[in-house]
Amino acid sequence: MKIVILGAPASGKGTVAKKISRDFNIPHISIGAMFRENINKKTQLGCQVEQYITTGELVPDNITCDLLKIRLKQKDCENGFILDGFPRNVNQAKFLNEFSAPEVVLLLSITEQESIKRILGRLTCPKCKEIYNLSFYKNSTCKICGTTLEHRVDDNEQTIKKRFDVYQKETKPLIDFYNDKVVEFRGQDDPDSLYDEIKNFLNLNLMM
């Protein structure tokens, strides 16, 4: 199954994608996470993209599409994948269609207000990538691996506004682009019931 997950920043794409990956045994591919790993490791690619990420702009398509192509050619993508954060504009979507078109596009809807609240409270574990939110989790270390939690470099008030604008202008047109492949879910719902709905939907679709 080839799935794309769309939604505003912090709509819950990463959390849902992680669960789909586990339950349907397909790799979770987050271009943003791959970029951040490269920034942390100070690779050449990391240096190239750091400026864009910290200001909330899109990394240029040639860099992003090249990275995605290399990833999708790996053997674990043979039976499908869940793409989180790609495509983010129509040009990237056309590229993906030529390379390996998705069968279904999950859209998580969320208000701007809720998105901002979540982003400002978001903490992540730099080691195992678990995501936490300050409103629910009061510790400063990861409950899975004990590592000290961090704020993402781009999770700050200045960058959020930009990321939201980019979403409205560049990414939202993908809803029309994908048209009848799009299935919308309420990202605002509590994470467990949201995922139950998505899982049921995917199971039904798999049987067809």
Residue located via tokens 């949201």: 194
Residue located via tokens 């701007």: 112
Q: Is residue 101 near Zn ion by the rule CB under 5 A?
A: no
Choose which of 27, 35, 81, 123 interacts with ligand ADP (CB under 6 A): 35
Q: Is residue 132 near ligand ADP by the rule CB under 6 A?
A: no
- C-alpha span between 56 and 169 (Å, rounded): 13
Shortest Å, Cβ 203 to ligand ADP: 26
Q: Is residue 115 near ligand ADP by the rule CB under 6 A?
A: no
- Residue 36 known to be catalytic: no
Task: Record the tokens describing residue 102, joined without a space.
Answer: 């998705």
Q: What is the H or E stretch that residue 203 is in?
A: helix 191-207
Q: Is residue 148 near Zn ion by the rule CB under 5 A?
A: no
- C-alpha span between 181 and 173 (Å, rounded): 14
User: CB-wise, 10 or 107, nearer to ligand ADP?
Assistant: 10
Q: Is residue 145 near Zn ion by the rule CB under 5 A?
A: yes
Tell me which residue has its CB nearest to ligand ADP.
32
Stretch that binds ligand ADP, among 27-35, 71-79, 97-105, 195-203 (CB under 6 A): 27-35
- C-alpha span between 57 and 51 (Å, rounded): 8
Q: Is residue 163 near ligand ADP by the rule CB under 6 A?
A: yes
- C-alpha span between 119 and 183 (Å, rounded): 24
CB 131 within 8 A of CB 15: yes
Q: Which of 138, 152, 162, 181 is catalytic?
A: 152
Q: Which residues pair with 83 in a beta bridge?
A: 4, 29
Stretch that binds ligand ADP, among 7-15, 71-79, 104-112, 183-191 (CB under 6 A): 7-15
- C-alpha span between 95 and 69 (Å, rounded): 10
The residues that touch ligand ADP, with contacts defined as CB under 6 A, are 9-10, 13, 30-33, 35, 52-53, 56-59, 64, 85-86, 88, 92, 154, 163
